[in-house]
Amino acid sequence: MRGLGLSLGEVVAEEIVEPLRMGGEMYLGTPTSEHGRMVTLFEKPPSGEPPEIDPLALRCVPPDITEALNRPEVRSAQVAAANMSTTARALARHYAALVGEVDGCRLVSEAHLERVLSQRTDLPDVLYQLNTAIPPQETPRAGAYQLNTGRKDQSMYFGPNPRAFGHDGYGGSLGSADPEAKVALGYTKTLLHTDQIPETLSKTRFIETVYGNL
């Protein structure tokens, strides 16, 4: 970030990874020395006929994106919305530190988090709709976070509590936090898919399993 004289990857390392003691588990721009520890991503073949995707969406998220994400130069790049490399444990630990203390570290205050989540917008996310095979989808957001619809037939489903929030990753991964239940989730995948209806996603089953055991 220019004002700090640091790259965004360095900010992630200094302000998130180090305080939460997650060294070697989360990178924005993964060092070449760590590439050998990374899994190879695979794209699950679509079931049935491939859905028609708007050409504009294909220019933003091309069909061969999984192949691109495996390239060394892409793994090393610092693309904030596309190539954070993390373990599920670190992803959950990061979200947990947004809603409470983790080993004495909290990333943002409760008051600041409330200010962020209060900036809700329910405007349609046009690109999201163009790029999903199961329209229409509700797309509530606050800042960079997706907000919980509370509906398992929607992609932005983060559990039974309305105040849960998080963000999906490409292909079915998930990071989320629930201020009410004090629960944070991290779900990372190797086999990526984009053509399943939300109720059948392994992400949805994962969320239901966690909350069913609280």
pLDDT number for residue 63: 67
pLDDT for the residue 58: 67
Residue 46: the pLDDT is 65
Locate the domains of the chain by residue range. Answer: 2-212
**Whole-prediction pTM value?**
0.89
What is residue 70's predicted lDDT score, i.e. its pLDDT?
93
Question: How many Å apart are CA 12 and CA 1, to the nearest integer?
Answer: 11
Report whether 100 contacts 20 (CB < 8 A): no
Residue 199, helix vs strand vs coil: helix
What is the helix (H) or strand (E) element at residue 168, kind and residue range?
A: strand 165-168
Alpha-carbon span 1 to 66, nearest angstrom:
28
CATH number of 2-212: 3.40.710.10
Q: What is the largest CA-CA distance in the chain?
A: 51
Q: How confident is the model at residue 155, as a pLDDT?
A: 85
pLDDT beneath 50, residues of the chain: none
